[in-house]
Chain A
């Protein structure tokens, strides 16, 4: 069973055609990694799913279409989004950032789950989010997606620009979350992908060029041709 299924998705922005018919599925209770070189359209795909870019094609959440819906309705339908540049509200406190995202305040269990995952955010609740470190900001962004019960979480390069120690922290957090929920993860950090992903999608120039299991990630030659990085170690 697939939570999310995308068929023949096209995105054009200011006359430039960015996605040329992207199709893939995200199976339930799995982590699916969306990979590809810079600029192939991964972020654009996530934004199009969230309704942040106008698109043509089929986007279905648990079998019903969400294409063309307003962004806030898509989010309410159960898609959480952690954008590439975190986009936390820097003038709001940590607590306000989370309160804003919380749709069901009575769901205490969820809030406790988030507190357990990110104890540091509880101690920094009154701090303005803009003054947090990059890693902490990323925690806020992920926590914001977890405070609600969602069908799927879209996460865009959560370890980008973080110091190695913080990468580990974020990776650990994602690893713990991975069991609980379905995730579509865009990530350049291959060791992290290998650790938590059960499915892999590779994009190139606005199209999906591979969809399958993560085994190939252990083949350096495959990784090199598909992703243009010298595979394995990172």
Chain B
């Protein structure tokens, strides 16, 4: 783990700097374009962190995490647009209902374990995706998604001129999720999660119910994901079915593995880099540099998932710690040389 000794001063400088940067004269983060990109990236960093809690810290390979993200998003937009609840109550209700949904789905899925659990969560999430994208019940507007009705939320949540507010809200969400995750994983429940990952029988022998702790981790991660979904609704201005697809969960897996699991900051960095890179790789694919290369090579290279997939295979097979693992490895080498 990144020790407080190192991270506390670093974070104490970095976070206020990030918060202040939209106001600090002319710098990259004073432009709405990058603010928007970074707002999205912060949210994916936070989402990846909740997935790290589930997969990295507790050892639950869930393929259904996107469902809770999307559920928060859709419930909030429905409550707000249809005047069911005032916006801040809608946010609370969206998170609360998603948490209950997570309890139900978690209880059913956790009757299985390991690899079967992965399959089952995938199936549940797919059902959610279908419900949303097929406009089941006529509520979700199918593939087109639902735009957030701008009149029903405070102005700071809307529009290009207010991007800096969204930037702040996203950064705040990331910081909040980071501290909640930090607090949980360092708490006694967090130690139980870690023990579950390493050796379930040992936890059972201590008289603790493994199933209950797994469910706790599952539900906490889902609850936070739903809140991040609500914030994503503000940032992107609409709810869309792509947020519910298993592609999102697979992307989360890539973020956590590439960034490095069980280090918290690895998942956050992984999420931020992935989010920014997938926008940038898209640009690269349209770049002219590739035109001179034969299609048999340029074709795959123009697909962002080609490089990411290869990198992912490489990391899983040969460098299981990912980015943060490599950092600790190098630091250990430097320290032992001294």
CA distance A14 to B199 in the complex (A): 8
- Return chain A residues, CB-CB under 8 Å to B198: 14
Q: How far is the CB of A210 from chain B (nearest CB, A)?
A: 30
- Which 3 residue pairs are nearest across A and B when measured between Cβ atoms? A14-B199, A14-B198, A14-B202
| Interface SS of chain B | helix
Give A7-44 as 1s and 0s: 1 = Cβ < 8 Å from B's Cβ atoms.
00000001000000000000000000000000000000
Closest to A14 in B: B199
Q: Quick one: CB contact mask for B198-210 with A, threshold 8 Å, 1 for yes?
A: 1100100000000
Give residues of chain B (16-47) contacting chain A, Cβ–Cβ below 8 Å.
none
CB within 8 Å of B: which residues of A?
Answer: 14
Nearest Cβ on chain A to B98's Cβ, whole angstroms:
35
A14 to B195, CA, bound (A): 11
Minimum CB–CB distance from A54 to chain B (whole Å) comes to 16
**B contact residues, total (Cβ < 8 Å):** 3
Residues on B with beta carbons closer than 8 Å to the beta carbon of A14: 198-199, 202
Q: Which residues of A contact B199 (CB under 8 A)?
A: 14
A/B interface sample: 3 pairs, CB < 8 A: A14-B198, A14-B199, A14-B202
Interfacial chain A residues near B202, Cβ < 8 Å: 14
Nearest chain B CB to A125's CB is how many angstroms away? 35
| Nearest A residue (CB) for B202 | A14
Chain B 175-198 per-residue mask, 1 if CB under 8 angstroms from chain A, else 0 = 000000000000000000000001
CB distance from B115 to the nearest CB of A (A): 19
Please, how many angstroms separate the alpha-carbon atoms of A14 and B205 in the complex? 14
In the bound complex, how far is the Cα of B198 from the Cα of A14, in angstroms? 8
CA distance A14 to B203 in the complex (A): 13
Bound together, the chains give a CA A177 to CA B131 distance in angstroms of 66
Q: Can you name the residue of chain A whose Cβ is closest to the Cβ of B199?
A: A14
What residue of chain A has the Cβ atom nearest to residue B201's Cβ? A14
Distance to closest chain B CB from A8 (angstroms): 26
**Least CB distance, B44 to chain A, in whole angstroms:** 34
- Complex Cα distance, B179 from A15, in Å, reads 31
| Smallest beta-carbon distance A17→chain B, Å | 14
Docked CA distance A189–B198 (Å)? 37
Complex CA gap A180/B39 in Å reads: 77
Q: Give complex CA distance A148, B285 in Å.
A: 62
A111 vs B199: C-alpha distance when bound (angstroms):
43
Shortest distance from the beta carbon of A124 to any chain B beta carbon, whole Å = 34
A36 to chain B minimum Cβ distance, whole angstroms, is 22
Task: Name the distance in Å between B293's Cβ and chain A's nearest Cβ.
Answer: 45
Closest residue of chain A to B198 (Cβ to Cβ) is: A14
Give CA–CA (A14, B201) in the complex, Å: 11
Give A7 to B199 CA distance when docked, in angstroms.
29
Return A119 CB to nearest CB of chain B, in Å.
42
With the chains together, A144 CA to B199 CA distance in Å?
33
A14-B202 Cα distance, complex, nearest whole Å? 10
Give Cα A218–Cα B199 distance, bound, in whole angstroms: 43
A226 to chain B, nearest CB (A): 28
Q: Nearest Cβ distance between residue B200 and chain A, in whole angstroms? A: 10
Q: How far is the CB of B194 from chain A (nearest CB, A)?
A: 13
Q: Which of B254-306 contact A (CB under 8 A)?
A: none
